[in-house]
Amino acid sequence: MSKFKKKKKGMPAVNTAALPDIVFMLLFFFMVTTVMRETELKIKTPKLPTADQVKKLEKKSLVSYIYVGKSKDGTAGDKIQLNDRISNVKDIKSFIFAERATHPEAEIPYLTTSIKADSESNVGTITDIKIELRDVNALKINYSTLQGSAIDNMKR
């Protein structure tokens, strides 16, 4: 009788042998897409304004960034950061020339300057930057924003 007694079946364990493969796949995905922030911000991280009429910046290598925001130690006024240090408006020209030097001649007309400015900063500072950019003929600019309704910028 005991010959025919059915073996008691437990729930079979889920085979986890493929788990490392799945995790590795995810790992490689994130490794490939990760961009380590190349510049450390010396100013307070700008709170970008929101807008909905936005375009994507296509080629990252053609974009140079200008950060505008408040300084970390709380001194008044807008601070401009180029590369990794807080700079003066007058330094923008040499910054643009340095950026151009790292690109081949043919790419220069496509170079874009992205202005990442805090929504609390003054238009005057932005205008000063724009005048400097115009003087060196770096005419393509992009006001960096977040996706959202522009009307939210007005609410405080």
Partner 1 sequence: MARRETPEINAGSMADIAFLLLIFFLVTTTMDTDIGISRKLPEKQDPNIVPPVLKEKNVFEVLVNRRDEILVEGETYMQIADLRKATIDFIDNGGGKNEDGTECTWCEGKKDPASSDHPKKAIISLQSDRGTSYGTYIAVQNELVAAYTDLRNRYANKKYGRNFEDIANEQQAIIKKDIYPQIISEAEPTK
Span near partner 1 by CB under 8 A; candidates 1-9, 82-90, 95-103, 135-143 = 135-143
Place of tokens 């500072």: 125
Structure tokens given for 13: 């364990």
Structure tokens given for 7: 């073996």
HSE of 145, CA atoms in CB hemisphere, 13 A: 16
Which lies closer to partner 1 via its Cβ, residue 27 or residue 98?
27
∠ CA 147-152-154 to the nearest 5 degrees?
Answer: 135
Which lies closer to partner 1 via its Cβ, residue 94 or residue 122?
122
Binders of partner 1 among residues 37 to 96 (CB under 8 A) are 37, 49, 51-57, 60, 63, 68
Structure tokens given for 45: 């991280």
Which residues make up the interface to partner 1 (CB under 8 A)?
A: 16, 19-20, 23-24, 26-27, 30-31, 33-37, 49, 51-57, 60, 63, 68, 112, 114, 117-124, 126-127, 130, 133-135, 137-147, 150-151, 153-154
